[in-house]
């Protein structure tokens, strides 16, 4: 008998990917076969994001795209967009079920038959009722190298631009013992790196008499884990104690992704952030003073209401002087039911775009300079995925993306690599275990001359 097929697509953050993976396991346990999103399938599940208007637009496009490939498929939509605008999603032709944040992990309690109906069903409870944690993990690539483990959900911060508290509810996390148990399971499955993920991971444990630091201490003692990486952490929650611990640890990666959002104190106050630019700079300086090799990523929003040219220049100059490794730049997008939506002095879309481009160019320069500082040095690379016949890609602990000659048997192993060249947003490396080094003229990210790379 042919198994029914289900296809998934995820928009947004790594937390969404982890949750989609958990939903996929539920389908597998019930005899489904997971297929590619663009292949014919019986059931389609879209896990959505609502951080920006663009994310919502993409969700609508993906729903229509799915129905072109599988016009008779049963369509389920969940995620943040589903929680915030369920009726809007239900009005899209072809959608059968809309599930909210509280309902998504109980999908099979709400859907007993995957037969299309004339009227879409909406199961979305008020976000104030979202108390379930819904443990989840996912892997980023096909091989079991990195797992994104959900350790925290929701957020209590009232940032002016953000809809996440409206879509995911209050901050909550699972007990340390449960997280340790999940890590042991991931180790048994063969994962070498575990990324601690959440909406506000630094807030872990605040409501169950523990803390994020206590979680780190417990995870350090789990046998078999080669690496832990923290996905992102707020600057006011990244304490010197945590930084010192990571610096001394053999397992935790010296990679910090720290949201800034603006380098202007006036805009930070309007955004309702919990720190000043000076306090943020102190955190980064403390990391750098203790570990010159640490990778430091920064989130920035441009075009927030009231951001004048002066404010943007403050941000730009702050970032020029900040010893960080790369930027993630977001263009401000008006979000319903946020405080920022009520603010005057909107920034013209054209100006938002121009500021975004300026910071993206700055990010490229900073990333290149950071990568170049490792040229000629030997680093440890976790080999993740194949790029071409002889070229594989992997990450260092401090978040250098490295392409290196390797074999299939090297996937999910940590290799000693010398950084030979810098090419765009990755490094080109050569093995130091007797493997032939890359010639200096090889600069393609896809290793276009595999005959030169034979191991």
Q: What is the pLDDT of residues 104-159, one digit of tens each?
A: 888 999 998 898 888 999 999 987 776 666 667 775 444 568 899 999 999 999 99
Indicate the range of 110-119, 197-206, 355-364, 443-452 predicted with least confidence.
443-452
- Which letter does DSSP use for residue 207 in this model? T
* All residues at 6 or more sequence positions from 9 whose CB lies less than 8 Å from its CB, including other chains: 37, 44, 45, 46, 47, 62, 66
- What pLDDT does 99 receive? 93
Quick one: which of 347, 216, 234 has its CA closest to 283? Answer: 234
Number of other CB atoms surrounding residue 145 within 10 Å: 24
363-412: per-residue pLDDT in tens? 999 999 999 999 999 999 999 887 766 689 999 999 999 999 888 888 89
Residue 438 has pLDDT above 50, yes or no: no
Please, what are the domains in the chain? 5-129 (3.40.50.12160), 137-372 (3.80.30.20), 378-452 (2.40.50)
Measured CA distances, 347 to 299, 307, 334, 355 (Å): 19, 7, 11, 11
Which helix (H) or strand (E) covers residue 430, if one does? strand 426-431
Predicted TM-score (pTM) of the model is 0.84
- Which letter does DSSP use for residue 437 in this model? P
User: What integer is the mean pLDDT of 237-259?
Assistant: 98
Q: How far apart are CA 19 and CA 187, in angstroms?
A: 19
Query: For 412, left (φ over 0), alpha (ψ -120 to 50), or beta?
Result: left
If you search the block for the tokens 């060249």, which residue do you land on? 421
Place 445 in a pLDDT band, splitting at 50, 70 and 90.
very low
Helix-helix angle 212-220:176-188, to 10 degrees: 40
CA torsion sign, 275 to 277 to 279 to 281?
A: positive
Three-state SS at 162 = coil
Place 444 in a pLDDT band, splitting at 50, 70 and 90.
very low
CB 236 within 8 A of CB 279: yes
User: What integer is the mean pLDDT of 254-280?
Assistant: 98
HEC secondary structure over 227-266: EEEECCCCCCCCCHHHHHHHHHCCCECCEEEEEEECCCHH
- What pLDDT does 134 receive? 67
Residue 212 has pLDDT above 70, yes or no: yes
- What pLDDT does 448 receive? 34
4-58: per-residue pLDDT in tens? 999 999 988 888 888 888 898 899 999 999 998 888 899 999 999 887 777 778 8
User: What integer is the mean pLDDT of 347-357?
Assistant: 97
Q: Phi/psi of residue 117, each to 5°? A: -120, 160
- What pLDDT does 143 receive? 52
Number of other CB atoms surrounding residue 292 within 10 Å: 10
């Amino acid at each position: 008998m042919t198994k029914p097929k289900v296809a998934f697509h995820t928009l947004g953050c790594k937390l969404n990917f982890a949750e989609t993976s958990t939903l996929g396991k539920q389908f597998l346990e019930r005899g489904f076969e997971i297929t590619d999103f663009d292949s014919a399938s019986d059931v389609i599940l879209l896990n959505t994001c609502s951080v920006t208007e663009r994310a919502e637009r993409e969700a609508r496009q993906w729903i229509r795209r799915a129905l072109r490939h599988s016009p008779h498929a049963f369509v389920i939509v969940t995620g943040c967009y589903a929680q915030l605008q369920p009726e809007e999603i239900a009005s899209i032709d072809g959608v059968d079920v809309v599930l909210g944040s509280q309902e998504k992990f109980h999908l099979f309690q709400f859907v007993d038959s995957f037969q299309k109906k004339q009227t879409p069903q909406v199961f979305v409870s008020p976000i104030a009722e979202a108390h379930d944690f819904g443990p989840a993990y996912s892997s980023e690539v096909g091989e079991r190298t990195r797992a994104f483990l959900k350790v925290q959900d929701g957020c209590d911060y009232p940032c002016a631009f953000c809809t996440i508290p409206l879509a995911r509810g209050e901050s909550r996390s699972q007990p340390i013992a449960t997280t340790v148990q999940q890590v042991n399971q991931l180790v048994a499955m063969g994962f070498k790196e575990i990324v601690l993920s959440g909406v506000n991971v630094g807030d872990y444990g605040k409501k169950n008499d523990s803390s994020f630091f206590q979680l780190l201490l417990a995870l350090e003692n789990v046998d078999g884990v080669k690496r832990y990486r923290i996905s992102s952490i707020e600057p006011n929650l990244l304490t010197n104690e945590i930084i010192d611990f990571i610096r001394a640890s053999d397992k935790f990666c010296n990679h910090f992704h720290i949201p800034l959002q603006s380098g202007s104190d006036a805009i930070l106050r309007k955004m309702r952030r919990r720190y000043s630019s000076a306090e943020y700079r102190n955190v980064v300086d403390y990391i750098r003073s203790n570990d010159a090799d640490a990778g430091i990523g920064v989130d920035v929003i441009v075009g927030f209401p009231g951001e004048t040219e002066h404010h943007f220049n403050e941000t730009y100059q702050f970032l020029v002087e900040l010893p960080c490794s790369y930027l993630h730049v977001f263009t401000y997008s008006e979000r319903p039911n946020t405080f920022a939506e009520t603010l005057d002095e909107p920034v013209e879309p054209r100006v938002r775009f121009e500021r975004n481009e300026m910071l993206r160019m700055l990010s490229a320069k900073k990333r290149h300079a950071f990568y170049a500082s490792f040229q000629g040095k030997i680093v440890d690379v976790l080999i993740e995925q194949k790029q071409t016949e002889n070229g594989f890609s992997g990450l260092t602990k401090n978040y250098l993306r490295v392409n290196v000659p390797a074999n299939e048997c090297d996937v999910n192993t940590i290799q000693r690599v010398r950084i030979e060249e810098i090419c765009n947003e990755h490094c080109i490396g050569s093995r130091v275990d007797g493997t032939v080094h890359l010639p200096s003229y090889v600069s393609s990210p896809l290793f276009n001359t595999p005959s030169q790379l034979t191991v």
